[in-house]
A and B are shown apart, each in its own frame.
Chain A
């Protein structure tokens, strides 16, 4: 028995000793899953770098690694809200005349009124998103620096471009005094120092100038990745606003880089304005740099998916937008609607030099719109059939929304057409036709006997207002039907097919496009009184695309600074630029320009100048004692 015990004892001791020595070492673990990499193992091949680079781009599109939601990048805010492009829309569009939002999510209504505080969720959301992007770019650059592979070096230039883009957003939205971190700073617990706006401006411009030659030539990179033209376009934009940031204008530099894009970029304006905002806009011309979305592969509740869904409500048919249903949030103010009411077209008629067959458009709008007496066919503007094929077209100005009209075969009431069911089909002696909103319209009537149809569309194809069931005025901001809706962004293709998934849009978000560069050049030219003829040429190029002809062309004398601002509104609304533009013009907070619900008053009221920049988030000021809150907050 004793022997057995002894053996047992020895065995026990042996077990004990062997386990004890090995067990402590077990604590040195590294991730065992193949899909989890550590910073030590991740940067092996250029392809590894490319996958991290893809995340730097995706930082503007997706909100987490799961898509559409899950494993979020940013915390403390609903994941869908945290989307870079969505935040940019909220920060740049909602506080302006271009948009109001009807939702009551915490902190969001403040953006309608310019009344946010430092604890606002969206103030924090945008800020966090910007610095998330900067942190990731720094990490990438830190790791790419020592790698001589030419591919990796090219990727690094792109990462630096994205970092500069986000630093520009930081400067523009939050002003100087934001923290400054580069690849030279590490990861971990420290409190970065703030940078002055002058220094940040210099940093951004010098970075962009340094990396421009390192980036692929314009249109030579893969779609969705930044090239040299993207760097030039960003330089033009930063220089355009230089006076706001530093007090010193740099319009000449803006013109220099805009010109580089125009002359060396090889871009042309897409003939069809609509195509720039559709599910297949990756094939549209004139986009210099876009953030890419895809209903299958790049799903998010932010980005263009948000812009499209939030715009649809009321009587709008979601199917027409290629989506599964609207979220009924965003509309425009009446002041913005008026930008499309070109009163200079009052009384304008379509000329008929060859005396082609014509029909007429008598109605209750005539007197107010400069066409003689109401309901008088003899004074009414004509629609002309140049091919004598019973298809008549012409342009008519309507002074008021809801104006009524009919068509007459000649300048009498003998044969007249109206529309009984508002279905686009004409009936003889049919009911009056109503115009949705005031403005200059292109009317097409097909009087071929078997299908008598008509189409009324704004002469300016950029006017995408949806008015059925909507009122122009906004009495109650939370009612979707108060304020005109907008149909600019869609998840349908240029051939009318729905996007790949109705729940998530395919539509890409153009961050820079040629029309913007034309208008930047024109504005800088007009402001400095240099090369104004080219400026006019560029502006009319943009307008000719919008009108489909030279109907909308303006003259040199009409090309004023303010005209360009309005033109930018018409061309670039809901693309995340409006706030910056209004600030540059001094209209954002002042009483010089008021729009509905600015300052939380329906008719609009000036707000305090400190709202020109957003506050640093309260939590950021609390956690980083080096920072000073922006003045006024």
Chain B
């Protein structure tokens, strides 16, 4: 902050010195800080309408300025304080106080390898601070900023405890490769892949420890991360102690009650009997009906309590600022037997040495997660299982669980094709793991004494994780694993280890060149990372001692390195014109020598229009900045392992050996490879306008962008005979994304007693594939994708040139005059008289046309309240649950019955029609994510600074026309999702 102040002082001095002669009268006075009455040096004072006539306060906060007329007006402005406009009214002495602009003081945004003042940012960066986070029982940091940032979608993967969220920034830029953003926690990039029990790397961080989240969206902001930046970067900064702070202790406790918001409608026992008796009279089907009345969904789901406790100590001990926190989260799942207990701890130390010349920042985070995963097969089974059968039968067979099969001379034989008893699936599967993870780093920030304004930074970090006691056990008597072989059940043990290490070294030069009205901030250095992982799986039948053959005995060990050189220049001229240029040269061990290095440049320009004379007098405008950005970024997470360019050979597992004579030989297979593989390159153009009116009481931004991914990775057919695979990942395509983002925040009320802030954002993001193959071939329909359940190998989506990613590829249903679909009748779209796959068409996609986020916070005296809501319009979902319903499935001649969803009455299909567009359904929705009410008691006891109680409802309601369980479906194919619970939370927060 100092250089800016200095700059402004210089600015003021220059202006003041050059224009003394015109003065007619002199006004002087002192400017103080309204919050502490201390004098404020460096405050800008100008005469309204004469931007060149001005001065700034000295180190005692004193100023003296010649004004042309006693009727003039003075404008006092200072970074971080609200501007004041005072008419002179003939006075010679004007003492005023400036109030800190609380909002703006916090507005330092974290960027790659540094921080920046929000008003100086040139890229597209959304910063969400702790005060803006969503409230409630939040286990995944992604949920903290769900709906808060335009262009950022956060979709929880399911309702399973610890399942995490899928985060997409501007929809992602890849097809075959990962679309996940890069996560950087306190300067440590997290490993992208999940580890068993933590599908989302963000789940490592206790949300209570997070201070702020910076979302870097455009290339000019992300290009400093080069080859991993194409899908955006999320930088998380955790809370830290401050020097001189006295000990403060905070305890937060939450108790939540989770309920199932909605069940799917399936035929009841009575309806089911009626259908079987009518539709299948004359067959033996009715004889298979039972006498029970079981609602299988009621059986498998439960309402459950979760608790969350956090304790933190923040302070400074003998000049050593520290923060220590402990957290426990016990999360029960609404699907029985699912459970997650998480223990987290963190220590942050920020000592300084040598008169603050060396600052050290130590961050250590550790966690332990105990998981019990429910067998989610129970969700689909609960829909399909015959409601006339009981959960348990009068037999000890299969642990007493009712099971389809038949009595034969050799005993009871289970029917392998029939649905499995949902309760047996839940209770007889013991799928557990304990995950440990630790992320830590030490940052040294050293101001070099012999070169002023130059500092050197060294960041050493690690991210280690490990699965301990990973086991999957299904007992020998399990109803769903028995296969009459005499050696049933499953016992699987697995391990997983990941070790990522990081070294960053960079220099920062921050120079105030007042002589040319410029500031320069240069950062440059290099970074080294090693990503290592290993793991093993050992699987046999349950009764390990009897094993003839081990089903699986695998291990892997792999690593890759990333080495990078990077630099960034921020140049500010006249505090109005800003330029940022970055360059990163990334090397990865994942590509061959000739493709290993990639250069990723970016450039951004910003113009603070509000600092221009023609706007400086417009009081209403507090901020108006135009930003232009351009940059190239890469994507190296290509999901092809660490050696995709190398010809390797892989051994077979014990179950894929080949018999020579009487020996079984472990085979060695050559793997297909593409030695020309390299990263995708995404070019982004971004134009943005940041605005603020009425001292930023209304503020926001509008952004438009265009992004083109070249060398898009796509799995394409290999010319037969030339490789050891028939399809290979190649850099062949291009993808275009256009988008528009808008956000606005208004604070209509902001005074001592009451406060109201409303934020709204809207996003439009359109993508189109523009090239997919090396050879241009108009006949090429594209790559079919999006596997569905039902049949074998059925897909429902396609990636085709000229269409959005994952467009649905379906037949156009023909309806009768009553609007009911006619089974198996489709429109002959190409008019050739036959209905075959050439009549399929691309119909809609899972991408919404527009997304909205709306949130509000209010305070009145000791009360506070907030809500946040989201809406997606024009997103379509393939309802796989509905498409799997058909009367013919209800009776299988091999001797079992299957229940169906009641929507079957709408289609009346006898056989499943998987590819009918009838099942591609509009899933536009409005979801109230979160409603919260709190009350704060101040100074109840001497030791207790404050106490806040709150009540929150999460997943309050969803308004949608979509007929499935939940319209929000990652990927657009609605299978049997673990339902997202509705959660009621009581919270208590104590500050000592």
A564 at the interface (CB under 8 A from B): no
B559 engages A32 (CB within 8 Å):
yes
A389 at the interface (CB under 8 A from B): no
> Scoring A residues 82 to 124 as 1 if CB is less than 8 Å from chain B, else 0, what string do you get?
0000000000000000000001111000000000010101001
> Scoring B residues 438 to 458 as 1 if CB is less than 8 Å from chain A, else 0, what string do you get?
000000001011100000101
Interface residues of A in 115-146 (CB under 8 A from B): 117, 119, 121, 124, 127-128, 131-132, 134-136, 138-139
Interface residues of B in 633-682 (CB under 8 A from A): 642-643, 646-670, 673-676
> Scoring B residues 145 to 185 as 1 if CB is less than 8 Å from chain A, else 0, what string do you get?
00000000000000000000000000000000000000000
A78 engages B656 (CB within 8 Å):
no
Of the stretches A4-12, A577-585, A605-613, the one at the interface is A4-12
Return the chain A residue nearest B565 by Cβ: A20
Return the chain B residue nearest A72 by Cβ: B725
Main secondary structure of the interface of B (DSSP, over half): loop
B720 engages A31 (CB within 8 Å):
no
B775 at the interface (CB under 8 A from A): yes
B791 engages A105 (CB within 8 Å):
yes
Interface residues of A in 594-633 (CB under 8 A from B): 617-620, 622-625
B727 at the interface (CB under 8 A from A): yes
A617 to B558, CA, bound (A): 36
Query: In the assembled complex, which residues on chain B have CB atoms less than 8 Å from the CB atom of A618?
Result: 779-780
Least Cβ–Cβ distance between B734 and chain A, in angstroms? 18
Known contacts A106-B791, A625-B775; A325/B417 CB under 8 A: yes
B526 engages A20 (CB within 8 Å):
yes
> Scoring A residues 25 to 51 as 1 if CB is less than 8 Å from chain B, else 0, what string do you get?
011111111111111001000001011
Least Cβ–Cβ distance between A141 and chain B, in angstroms? 12
A105 engages B726 (CB within 8 Å):
no
A33 engages B446 (CB within 8 Å):
no
B556 engages A33 (CB within 8 Å):
yes
B483 at the interface (CB under 8 A from A): yes
B555 engages A297 (CB within 8 Å):
no
B792 engages A78 (CB within 8 Å):
yes
4 closest A-B pairs (Cβ-Cβ)?
A67-B656, A67-B655, A222-B661, A181-B721
Return the chain A residue nearest B460 by Cβ: A15
B725 engages A75 (CB within 8 Å):
yes
Query: In the assembled complex, which residues on chain B have CB atoms less than 8 Å from the CB atom of A501?
Result: 483, 485
Known contacts A61-B658, A64-B656, A328-B894; A51/B665 CB under 8 A: yes
Query: In the assembled complex, which residues on chain B have CB atoms less than 8 Å from the CB atom of A19?
Result: 503, 505, 526, 528
B794 engages A106 (CB within 8 Å):
yes
Query: In the assembled complex, which residues on chain A have CB atoms less than 8 Å from the CB atom of B95?
Result: none
Contact of A136 among B670, B675, B791 (CB under 8 A): B670
Contact of A297 among B655, B676, B720 (CB under 8 A): B655
Return the chain A residue nearest B357 by Cβ: A5
Interface residues of A in 165-219 (CB under 8 A from B): 178-181, 185, 187-192
Least Cβ–Cβ distance between B235 and chain A, in angstroms? 23
Query: In the assembled complex, which residues on chain A have CB atoms less than 8 Å from the CB atom of B670?
Result: 39, 52, 55, 136, 139
> Scoring A residues 473 to 505 as 1 if CB is less than 8 Å from chain B, else 0, what string do you get?
000001011000000000000000000111100
Return the chain B residue nearest A620 by Cβ: B720
Return the chain B residue nearest A110 by Cβ: B836
A36 engages B589 (CB within 8 Å):
no
A30 to B653, CA, bound (A): 22
A48 engages B416 (CB within 8 Å):
no
A299 at the interface (CB under 8 A from B): yes
Known contacts A73-B725, A181-B722; A57/B837 CB under 8 A: no
Of the stretches B427-435, B711-719, B972-980, the one at the interface is B711-719
B18 at the interface (CB under 8 A from A): no
A217 to B612, CA, bound (A): 95
A80 at the interface (CB under 8 A from B): yes
Of the stretches B72-80, B120-128, B270-278, B407-415, the one at the interface is B407-415
Least Cβ–Cβ distance between A409 and chain B, in angstroms? 31
A371 at the interface (CB under 8 A from B): no
Query: In the assembled complex, which residues on chain B have CB atoms less than 8 Å from the CB atom of A134?
Result: 721
10 A-B pairs within 8 Å (CB atoms) are namely A12-B456, A19-B505, A35-B650, A77-B793, A131-B721, A187-B723, A222-B661, A294-B659, A314-B894, A620-B720
Query: In the assembled complex, which residues on chain A have CB atoms less than 8 Å from the CB atom of B410?
Result: 319
A105 to B914, CA, bound (A): 11
A440 to B945, CA, bound (A): 100
> In the complex, which of the residues B446, B775, B894 has the most CB atoms of chain A within 10 Å of its own CB atom?
B894
Query: In the assembled complex, which residues on chain B have CB atoms less than 8 Å from the CB atom of A24?
Result: 563, 587
B545 at the interface (CB under 8 A from A): no
A631 to B140, CA, bound (A): 59
B305 at the interface (CB under 8 A from A): no
Least Cβ–Cβ distance between B837 and chain A, in angstroms? 7
B528 engages A23 (CB within 8 Å):
yes
Known contacts A117-B836, A134-B721, A313-B893; A296/B548 CB under 8 A: yes
Return the chain A residue nearest B670 by Cβ: A139
B102 at the interface (CB under 8 A from A): no
A181 to B720, CA, bound (A): 9
Return the chain B residue nearest A301 by Cβ: B792
B1 at the interface (CB under 8 A from A): no
Query: In the assembled complex, which residues on chain B have CB atoms less than 8 Å from the CB atom of A299?
Result: 655-656
A625 to B717, CA, bound (A): 13
B658 engages A192 (CB within 8 Å):
no
Least Cβ–Cβ distance between B90 and chain A, in angstroms? 55
Interface residues of B in 860-906 (CB under 8 A from A): 893-894
Least Cβ–Cβ distance between B138 and chain A, in angstroms? 36
> Scoring A residues 303 to 328 as 1 if CB is less than 8 Å from chain B, else 0, what string do you get?
00000000001100111000011111
Query: In the assembled complex, which residues on chain A have CB atoms less than 8 Å from the CB atom of B530?
Result: 26
B658 engages A190 (CB within 8 Å):
no
B653 engages A65 (CB within 8 Å):
yes
B651 engages A179 (CB within 8 Å):
no
B50 at the interface (CB under 8 A from A): no
B722 engages A296 (CB within 8 Å):
no
B558 engages A55 (CB within 8 Å):
no
Return the chain B residue nearest A143 by Cβ: B670
B549 at the interface (CB under 8 A from A): yes
Interface residues of B in 367-381 (CB under 8 A from A): none
A292 at the interface (CB under 8 A from B): yes
B717 engages A623 (CB within 8 Å):
yes
Query: In the assembled complex, which residues on chain B have CB atoms less than 8 Å from the CB atom of A12?
Result: 446, 456, 458
Interface residues of A in 319-371 (CB under 8 A from B): 319, 324-328
> In the complex, which of the residues A1, A104, A313, A622 has the most CB atoms of chain B within 10 Å of its own CB atom?
A622
A622 engages B664 (CB within 8 Å):
no
Return the chain A residue nearest B587 by Cβ: A27
B552 at the interface (CB under 8 A from A): yes
> Scoring B residues 774 to 795 as 1 if CB is less than 8 Å from chain A, else 0, what string do you get?
1101011100000000011110
Query: In the assembled complex, which residues on chain A have CB atoms less than 8 Å from the CB atom of B957?
Result: none
Known contacts A5-B449, A36-B648, A66-B653; A623/B589 CB under 8 A: no
A29 to B643, CA, bound (A): 8
Least Cβ–Cβ distance between B723 and chain A, in angstroms? 6
A623 engages B773 (CB within 8 Å):
yes
A16 at the interface (CB under 8 A from B): yes
B358 at the interface (CB under 8 A from A): yes
A8 to B444, CA, bound (A): 11
Contact of A71 among B483, B587, B650, B773 (CB under 8 A): B650
Contact of B894 among A28, A192, A313 (CB under 8 A): A313
Given A35-B555, A38-B646, A121-B793; 7 other pairs, CB 8 A cutoff:
A31-B648, A65-B656, A106-B793, A119-B837, A187-B722, A296-B548, A620-B719
A188 to B483, CA, bound (A): 44
A33 engages B722 (CB within 8 Å):
no
A225 to B664, CA, bound (A): 12
> In the complex, which of the residues A68, A179, A224, A478 has the most CB atoms of chain B within 10 Å of its own CB atom?
A224
Query: In the assembled complex, which residues on chain A have CB atoms less than 8 Å from the CB atom of B836?
Result: 117
B659 engages A623 (CB within 8 Å):
no
A29 engages B652 (CB within 8 Å):
no
A81 at the interface (CB under 8 A from B): yes
A565 at the interface (CB under 8 A from B): no
Least Cβ–Cβ distance between B555 and chain A, in angstroms? 7
